[in-house]
Structure 1
Amino acid sequence: MTDAHDTQVTVLGLGAMGAAMARTLLAAGHPATVWNRTPHRADDLVAAGARAADTAEHAVTSSPLVIACLFDYDSVYEVLDPVARSLSGRVLVNVTTGSPAQAREMAGWAHDHGITYLDGGMLAVPETIGQPGAAIFYSGAPAAFEQYRPVLDAVADSHYVGDDAGAAALHDLALLAGMYAMFAGFFHGAAMVSTAGVSAKEFAALAGPWLTAMTASLPDLAESIDSGDYTTDVQDLEFTKSAVDLIVRAGRDQHVGAGVLEPVQRIIDAQIADGHGDEVFSRIYEGITHP
């Protein structure tokens, strides 16, 4: 395992996230080389002790560990393709947001050029980098992850999720799916009560504790999914349908669009039509995995 305090690191891309990562690595004692297409973005980091590379090739040859935090995968290829020969024999950690398929494709590109590859999926925003609660999923080369884990842990809690390079992006996007669906539900509810003069701030004070309390049921829902046992003697899909239909109807009565809930409504209806009305709400998982 690499010493946590003296590893040379290069950070490519100094947007808000890349700059936060570089700043955190410097604060943790890692000599950092930084590069950005727009050179002046490195000024504050240089003042904090970083070395600014004048070219991408100079940047990647400065460290055994290279972290790419660029706009998209096209940007990564645009920057790294011309310097792939110089990256050979080094470890590339790509935390640029992309799909599992893009991560796997880049892992193949890296392999073809003799580059050890780790893909990263970030559950963090720039302000949380280096702070408790920030997390990054990693997938790809296991030995590289173990070697550089102390360095990666300085940025955020590191979670290795497998040697399939696409696994980190898959975990990241799956969790974001849950987040966006939750927020959309909150927005829908806020729109409903706004018709009665209730502010979003007032509604948030009610919704926060409620949604937090509801997450306590996630382990039980997960158990029913993993076991395939959706039997219940309490609230079944027929009950859930009546509740969701009522929410949609009430929203329309208040002139609020039902676009957020309509997909859920359709899946529930399809499961009931297939004879699963007496099963628990988590049964809709089957309608999502087998649409």
Structure 2
Amino acid sequence: MTLLGLGLMGYVLADTLLAAGHPTTVWNRSTGKGADLIGRGARRAASAGEAIAASSLVIVCITDNNAGRELVQPLAAELRGRTLINLTSGSSSEAGDISGWAAQHEIAYVDGAVLAAPDGIGTDEAAILYSGDRDAFDQHNSVLRKLGTPTFLGNDPGLAAPRDVAVLGMMWNILNAFLHAAALLQSASVSATALAPVLEGGIATTTGWLAGYAEQIDAGAFPGDDATIATHLAAMTQLIDESNARGVSTDLPRQIKAVADRAVAEGLGRSSYAAMISQFRSPE
């Protein structure tokens, strides 16, 4: 196997392949990284081209797809006849562009999205999504399973990227809500450590709503059986008032309330919270 890029994620990918017994060639722009991998049997290539020549399977995991294109496109001849798996984060359009370039040069291309932190790589909990060349995915599936639980989404190389950023978007929203909550409770002399288990319980409750709300979204029907948007809106106002009273920023809760205000103005006040998807389907 060849691994191009030894950043936080790339290093762990290479380390996991090496630990699983796969001969592994590595390359990184900064040659100082990965010395311990070399000590455990990995081969350091002097150039990206040399690294590619060493294996039929080439995995690239670097900063972004712009850097990825700059790296691999001059090496089309070296990559011809090989499989290129791109685990660099990027957009679906970028995946399509790289796939088109790869097809022109007889390179089997698979785009991927790692839905896991580096310390989860090599476990079943590490979900890794793939899309693109199905034959190439099937050929190397046994290797990919060493990195995590692989899921193939389809032949369109742009299928993995939207799921990646969707998960990241949810993560950032949860973390921002936690940070606002911690700031609010600290103003009442409650430590973030004491708050964390309370919020974990709240997140677990919210997670339990997702499947039902997903069914409502797919069906286009939003009965307000649990709590209506209007009910949530009243509580949002309370959050803003409490934040104001304690000298905590109201930026985040005001953004949340603004979305609910628009939904109510459109006549959705008696619908379930899931009906607010209407506010996210197109820009204002």
TM over 0.5: yes
1:132 shift after superposition = 3.4
1:105 shift after superposition = 1.5
Matched residue SS, 1:39: coil
In the alignment, structure 1 residue 96 sits paired with structure 2 residue 88: yes
1:74 shift after superposition = 2.3
Cα distance in structure 1, aligned partners of 2:116 and 2:150: 12
Q: TM-score, normalised by structure 1?
A: 0.93
In the alignment, structure 1 residue 160 sits paired with structure 2 residue 152: yes
Question: Match for 2:222: what amino acid?
Answer: Y
In the alignment, structure 1 residue 210 sits paired with structure 2 residue 179: no
- Residue in structure 1 matched with residue 21 of structure 2 by the alignment: 29
1:100 shift after superposition = 1.7
- Residue in structure 1 matched with residue 282 of structure 2 by the alignment: 290
- Residue in structure 2 matched with residue 150 of structure 1 by the alignment: 142
Matched residue SS, 1:154: coil
Question: Match for 2:257: what amino acid?
Answer: Q
In the alignment, structure 1 residue 70 sits paired with structure 2 residue 62: yes
Alpha-carbon displacement from aligned partner over 1:31-68 (angstroms, at most 9, x marks no partner): 11111122232321121111111111111111110000
Cα distance in structure 2, aligned partners of 1:69 and 1:233: 46
- Residue in structure 2 matched with residue 269 of structure 1 by the alignment: 261
Matched residue SS, 1:93: strand
Listed as ranges, the matches of 1:104-123 within 5 Å are 104-123=96-115
Cα distance in structure 2, aligned partners of 1:197 and 1:36: 47
Question: Match for 2:186: what amino acid?
Answer: S
Question: Match for 1:159: what amino acid?
Answer: T
Question: Match for 1:172: what amino acid?
Answer: D
CA RMSD of aligned residues (A): 1.3
Cα distance in structure 2, aligned partners of 1:55 and 1:207: 48
- Residue in structure 1 matched with residue 51 of structure 2 by the alignment: 59
Matched residue SS, 2:156: coil
Cα distance in structure 1, aligned partners of 2:94 and 2:186: 41
1:227 shift after superposition = 0.6
Alpha-carbon displacement from aligned partner over 1:102-151 (angstroms, at most 9, x marks no partner): 21221122122221111111112222211231121111111111111110
Number of aligned residue pairs: give it: 283
Listed as ranges, the matches of 1:7-22 within 5 Å are 9-22=1-14
Q: Please point out which of 148, 163, 179 is paired with 2:171.
A: 179
Matched residue SS, 2:110: strand
Question: Match for 2:180: what amino acid?
Answer: H
1:214 shift after superposition = 2.1
Cα distance in structure 2, aligned partners of 1:132 and 1:201: 29
Ranges of 4+ aligned residues in structure 1 off by more than 4 Å: none
In the alignment, structure 1 residue 87 sits paired with structure 2 residue 74: no
Task: Give percent identity, aligned residues only.
Answer: 37
1:13 shift after superposition = 0.8
**Which one is further off, 194-203 or 207-216?**
207-216
1:246 shift after superposition = 1.3
1:30 shift after superposition = 1.0
Question: Match for 1:200: what amino acid?
Answer: A
1:273 shift after superposition = 0.8
